[in-house]
Amino acid sequence: MGVLLEVQDVTKTFGSLVALDRVSLSVEERKLTILIGPNGSGKTTLINVVSGFYKADKGKILYQGEDITGLPPHRVYRKGIARTFQIPALFWKLTVLENLVAAEKNHPGESFVRSVFKSAWEGAETQATEKALRILELLGLAGAWNSEASKLSGGQMKLVEIGRALMSDARILLLDEPVSGVNPTLAHEIFTKLVRLRDELGVTFLIVEHRLDIALDYVDYVQAMAYGRMISGGDPKVVMKDPKVIDAYLGG
């Protein structure tokens, strides 16, 4: 086991605002790492830079040792890095199953030329459907496969987003607040499922989350940010006692 994703000295500014100030971070393979920090500390910006949605002004992103700095989002995605959004971005009129199938990385529907060969397309569609059903089973969502996305509970929407990310065969998932607004029981269930995905499929997680009361029971590592800087990182028990972390939350 080693480092799967490495952020090296990344800076990102918006005008005069320094959202990320020389941020470095190593994400270990097959571990759950949580990224914490007060509102506006730069957590989502970091996810946006790693996933290619924003370009870093300075610094490097390495994935499996390969420099992926500046790649556009679809190329980052194809490398095996998938993300979810702070506010779920689903196809609201489609069913749960359709949402997953539409997220398949090699879905031939993306390619006009291949979609002309209807039989090939149908074969791939069946495969994608089978895969989607397996993922829904893993997430405990199989019973809702035919529900329209807009009719789901907040917690189920979060799970569908995770399911969509898994359809790409991602090796690492970047989750932006997977349990925000979700009731405690379901929030614990979601984290239990993430642990299962780590253990059974070997998925690596970098998770932004404010709900520390829930998340800390499940994570391997904590990274803490404040004012665009990485201020602490490592074992959850150690990081949560770090005076810099306590200050960041209490000092405001």
Ligand X SMILES: Nc1ncnc2c1ncn2[C@@H]1O[C@H](COP(=O)(O)OP(=O)(O)OP(=O)(O)O)[C@@H](O)[C@H]1O
Which residues of the chain form contacts with ligand X (CB under 6 A)? Answer: 14, 17, 19, 37, 39-45, 86
The 8-class DSSP code of residue 93 comes to T
Closest separation in Å from C-beta 58 to ligand X: 16
The verdict on 41 binding Mg ion (CB under 5 A) reads: no
Q: Which single residue is written with the structure tokens 């199989």?
A: 142
Residue closer to ligand X (CB basis): 14 or 117: 14
For 170, residues 6+ apart whose C-beta sits below 8 A from its C-beta are 77, 80, 81, 82, 203
CA angle 40, 218, 83 (to 5 degrees): 50
Nearest to 4 by CA among 70, 88, 66, 94: 66
Q: List the beta bridge partners of residue 232.
A: 224
Q: What is the spatial distance between Cα 199 and Cα 192, in angstroms, rounded to a whole number?
A: 11
Name which position in 20, 25, 37, 44 contacts Mg ion (CB under 5 A): 44
Closest contact distance (angstroms) between CB of 53 and Mg ion is 13
If contact means CB under 5 to 8 A according to the sort of partner, which of ligand X, Mg ion, none does residue 10 touch? Answer: none
| Rounded-to-5 percentages of helix, strand, coil across the chain | 40, 25, 35
Question: Smallest distance, Å, CB 40 to ligand X?
Answer: 4
Q: Which stretch binds Mg ion (CB under 5 A): 44-52, 54-62, 77-85, 161-169?
A: 44-52
Query: Is the Cβ of residue 46 or residue 160 nearer to Mg ion in the bound state?
Result: 46
- Cβ at position 150, least distance to ligand X in Å: 24
Supply the minimum distance, in Å, between the C-beta of residue 228 and Mg ion. 13
Q: Is 48 in the site for Mg ion (CB under 5 A)?
A: no
Residues that bind Mg ion (CB under 5 A): 43-44
